[in-house]
Structure 1
Amino acid sequence: MAHHNGPRKKTRYKFKKDLRRRGILPVTAAIRTFEMGQRVHIVCEPSVQKGMPHRRFHGKTGTVVGQRGRAWLVEIPDGNATKVVISRPQHLKPQRV
């Protein structure tokens, strides 16, 4: 048997979109900007594979700490550690206050 341990393993239902939300995203999702210290939700957008964070961070909330090219650095508490996730803006949603 082949070794099936890719980055999108076990994501059949996690990355599934609703019927009416399928298709490509508007351009505004790709050019969205954030401020340092802003809280964002990580929600993986399955129609965009580039810059997608690991599936374990899907649904987590973190703080924007920097920018790297077109991607944003998001700091997430994970148990006793804090991790920095690199993600493109299509996979980030600002937290409503």
Structure 2
Amino acid sequence: MVKRTHGYRYKTRKLLRKKPREKGLSGLSRLLYEYKVGDKVIIDIDSTFISTAPHRRYQGKVGTVVGIRGRAYVIETFLGDKKKIIITTPEHLKPYQGGS
């Protein structure tokens, strides 16, 4: 038997799938939204932008913007009890609307 590969997008068929009405590029408001340092954001991976997408384990996580690098944002989030730094573009971010 051939050894099975476990690539970067392994097991993402359902996770990164778009519903028929969501297909294509997302709206401009999501791309043009400017986050400030300290803002809370939700990591919501957009599968049309592959090169800047964070790993699938961060899908749905809430993080805090700690910096800006060019067009990208530096997000600090927790994975279990470990602090992780993610660098991604605004296509994969949504403003956090919840409390605290």
TM-score by length of 2: 0.87
Any unmatched runs of 5+ in structure 2?
none
Equivalent residue, structure 2, for 1:8 = 9
Go from structure 1 to structure 2 and tell me whether the alpha carbon gap of 1:31 and 1:2 turns closer, same or farther (over 3 Å shift). farther
Partner Cα distance (2:51, 2:26) in 1:
13
Q: Are 2:38 and 1:45 equivalent residues in the alignment? A: no
Partner Cα distance (1:78, 1:32) in 2:
26
The number of aligned residues is 97
Identity of aligned pairs, percent?
36
Q: Are 2:80 and 1:79 equivalent residues in the alignment? A: yes
Deviation at 1:3, TM superposition (A): 4.7
Partner Cα distance (1:32, 1:48) in 2:
17
Which residue type is aligned with residue 46 of structure 2? E
Equivalent residue, structure 1, for 2:56 = 55
Deviation at 1:2, TM superposition (A): 5.5
Partner Cα distance (1:3, 1:46) in 2:
23
Which residue type is aligned with residue 26 of structure 1? G
Measured against aligned partners, the alpha-carbon deviations of 1:41-95 in whole angstroms (never above 9, x if no partner) come to 0010011112100110001001000011211011001222111111110000001
TM-score by length of 1: 0.90
Runs of at least 4 residues off by over 2 Å? 25-32
Deviation at 1:26, TM superposition (A): 3.2
Is the 1:50–1:88 Cα contact (8 Å) retained in structure 2?
no
Partner Cα distance (2:50, 2:11) in 1:
16
Which residue type is aligned with residue 90 of structure 2? P
